């Protein structure tokens, strides 16, 4: 049952990245869209994410619940040493979640209020994935120091380091990439499609660039990322698959009939990156300074709890997955 729970944990993280991350990306794309096109882009994206918006962000709740029920020690350690980035992440989530709803449900569409919501939405769309990345990077970077004596070393340098920040930027770039790819299929206007394809290409280059930064930062901070990835067959295979799918994506992106394929390819590519990173350190989930770590296979709750959690998740997914599938089918598929 433990493996089922772990599977759900990774699946939730991946789905949050692929679905919620694309929502963040929508805001990021908006940030990098010229003023002339902002309104059109916003409208297209709103149609795309409106119905599935709240559901996409539920994956984060599922992730948190799995962590604190199934892996309470890991959860409480992360909450203690990564308090500050988690707090900033929360601020981002609040600003984003409310600004998105408010701008749509403000009965009077005044220019100043709409501007305020837009600004909140756009900037929090950048900050939130940035800090999600920073938290993920910090868990793996080995900079968390439970023996630290002063505030700065215990609560700030645990996450404020080159590697974590590079992972943060990489996450932002990937979210923008996902959103740009997803949105290509959302419109029939030829000019818009051209514009979005260009955005997708630019954000893809940005993602590759930020990915490079992660490796450089890993060398500076002695995280040993390249060593992990090239030393682990599964990670290596995932990285190769991601690279191949990237090349394929560039070839087929301009063909209209390939719209669904390029979405799948982009999602595949991002999943491969997550798998590659997850596999390198599995079962380690949090790595401390000095090399000690917390493991999903040993630092879990008692067997009873894991069993009940696993059953709860399995039963829950019997309800959630068909309903979610039908939601996507109704609004994202049947509509066109």
Partner 1 sequence: MDDFIAARSQMALSLGFHIIYSCIGMVMPVFMAISHYKWIKTKNQVYKNVTIAWSKGVAIFFATGAVSGTMLSFELGLLWPGFMKHAGPIFGMPFSLEGTAFFIEAIALGFFLYGWNKLNTWFHWFTGVVVGLSGIASGILVVSANSWMNSPSGFDYVNGKYLNINPLKAMLNEAWFSEALHMTIAAFSATGFAVAGIHALMIYRKRNVNFHTKSFKIAIVFGAAAAILQPLSGDISAKGAAKRQPAKLAAMEAYFHTQEYAPLVIGGIPDTAAKKVNYGLEIPGLLSFLVHDNFKTTVNALDKIPVKDQPPVAVTHYAFQIMVGIGTLMMFIGILYFVALWKKKEWLTKAWFLKLFIIATPTGFIALEAGWTVTEVGRQPWIIQGVMRTADAVTKMPGIQYTFYLFTFIYFTLSVFVIFLLKRQIQMVPELYDR
Give the span between the Cα atoms of 5 and 69, in whole angstroms: 10
> How many other CB atoms are found less than 10 A from the CB of residue 113?
13
Tell me how far, at minimum, the Cβ of 246 lies from partner 1, in Å: 32
Select from 191, 226, 298, 330 the one that contacts partner 1 (CB under 8 A): 330
Q: Is 76 in the site for partner 1 (CB under 8 A)?
A: yes
Q: Is 94 in the site for partner 1 (CB under 8 A)?
A: yes
Q: Is 78 in the site for partner 1 (CB under 8 A)?
A: yes
Q: Is 127 in the site for partner 1 (CB under 8 A)?
A: no
Tell me how far, at minimum, the Cβ of 89 lies from partner 1, in Å: 8
Select from 2, 4, 11, 58 the one that contacts partner 1 (CB under 8 A): 58
Burial of 99 (0-12, 13-18, 19+ CB in 10 A): buried
Number of residues that bind partner 1 (CB under 8 A): 64
Q: Which residues pair with 252 in a beta bridge?
A: none
Q: Is 111 in the site for partner 1 (CB under 8 A)?
A: no
Q: Secondary structure of the chain in the HEC alphabet?
A: CHHHHHHHHHHHHHHHHHHHHHHHHHHHHHHCCCHHHHHHHHHHHHHHHCCCHHHHCHHHHHHHHHHHHHCHHHHHHHHHHCHHHHHHHHHHHHHHHHHHHHHHHCCCCCHHHHHHHHHHHHHHHHHHHHHHHHHHHHHHHCCECCCCCCHHHHHHCCCCCHHHHHHHHHHHHHHHHHHHHHHHCCCCCHHHHHHHHHHHHHHHHHHHHHHHHHHHHHHHCCCCHHHHHHHCHHHHHHHHHHHHHHHHHHHHCCCHHHHHHHHHHHHHHHHHHHHHHHHHHCCEEEEECCCCEEECCCCCCCHHHHHHHHHHHHHHHHHHHHHHHHHHHHHHHCCC
Of 116 and 236, CB closest to partner 1? 116
Q: Is 279 in the site for partner 1 (CB under 8 A)?
A: no
Judge contact between 85 and 156, C-beta under 8 A: no
Select from 18, 26, 69, 223 the one that contacts partner 1 (CB under 8 A): 69
Q: Is 23 in the site for partner 1 (CB under 8 A)?
A: no
Q: Is 79 in the site for partner 1 (CB under 8 A)?
A: yes
Q: Is 102 in the site for partner 1 (CB under 8 A)?
A: yes
Of 66 and 167, CB closest to partner 1? 66
Tell me how far, at minimum, the Cβ of 67 lies from partner 1, in Å: 8
Select from 2, 31, 65, 241 the one that contacts partner 1 (CB under 8 A): 65
Q: Is 295 in the site for partner 1 (CB under 8 A)?
A: no
Judge contact between 145 and 158, C-beta under 8 A: yes
Q: Is 22 in the site for partner 1 (CB under 8 A)?
A: no
Of the ranges 24-32, 188-196, 242-250, 318-326, which one interacts with partner 1 (CB under 8 A)? 318-326
Q: Is 62 in the site for partner 1 (CB under 8 A)?
A: yes
Tell me how far, at minimum, the Cβ of 228 lies from partner 1, in Å: 28
Within 231-260, the residues that bind partner 1 by CB under 8 A are none
Select from 3, 7, 39, 90 the one that contacts partner 1 (CB under 8 A): 90
Contacts to partner 1 by CB under 8 A: 50-55, 57-58, 60-62, 64-66, 68-70, 72-73, 75-80, 83, 86-87, 89-91, 93-94, 97-98, 100-102, 104-108, 151, 154-155, 301-302, 304-305, 308-309, 312-313, 315-316, 319-320, 323-324, 327, 330-331, 335
């Amino acid at each position: 049952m433990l493996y089922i729970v772990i599977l759900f944990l990774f699946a939730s993280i991946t789905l949050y990245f692929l679905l919620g991350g694309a929502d963040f990306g929508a805001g990021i794309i908006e940030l990098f869209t010229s003023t002339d096109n902002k309104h059109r882009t916003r409208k297209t994206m709103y149609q795309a994410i409106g119905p599935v918006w709240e559901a996409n962000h539920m994956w984060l709740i599922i992730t948190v619940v799995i962590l604190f029920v199934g892996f309470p020690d890991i959860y409480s350690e992360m909450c203690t040493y990564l308090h500050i980035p988690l707090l900033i992440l929360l601020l981002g989530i609040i600003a984003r979640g409310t600004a998105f709803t408010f701008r749509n449900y403000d009965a009077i569409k005044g220019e100043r209020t709409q501007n305020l919501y837009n600004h909140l939405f756009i900037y929090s769309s950048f900050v939130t994935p940035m800090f999600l990345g920073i938290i993920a990077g910090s868990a793996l970077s080995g900079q968390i120091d439970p023996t630290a004596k002063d505030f700065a070393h215990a609560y700030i340098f645990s996450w404020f380091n080159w590697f974590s920040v590079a992972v943060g930027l990489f996450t932002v770039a990937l979210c923008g990439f996902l959103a740009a790819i997803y949105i290509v299929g959302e419109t029939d206007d030829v000019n818009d499609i051209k514009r979005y394809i260009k955005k997708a290409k630019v954000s893809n280059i940005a993602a590759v660039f930020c990915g490079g930064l992660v490796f450089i930062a890993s060398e500076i901070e002695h995280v040993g990322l390249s060593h992990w990835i090239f030393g682990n067959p599964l990670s290596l295979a995932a990285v190769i698959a991601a690279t191949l799918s990237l090349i394929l994506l560039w070839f087929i992106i301009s063909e209209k009939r390939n719209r669904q394929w390029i979405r799948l390819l982009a999602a595949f590519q991002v999943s491969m990156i997550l798998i590659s990173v997850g596999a390198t350190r599995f079962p380690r989930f949090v790595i401390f300074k000095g090399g000690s770590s917390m493991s999903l296979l040993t630092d879990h709750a008692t067997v009873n709890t894991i069993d009940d959690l696993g059953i709860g998740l399995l039963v829950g997914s019997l309800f959630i997955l068909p309903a979610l599938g039908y939601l996507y089918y109704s609004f994202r598929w049947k509509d066109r």
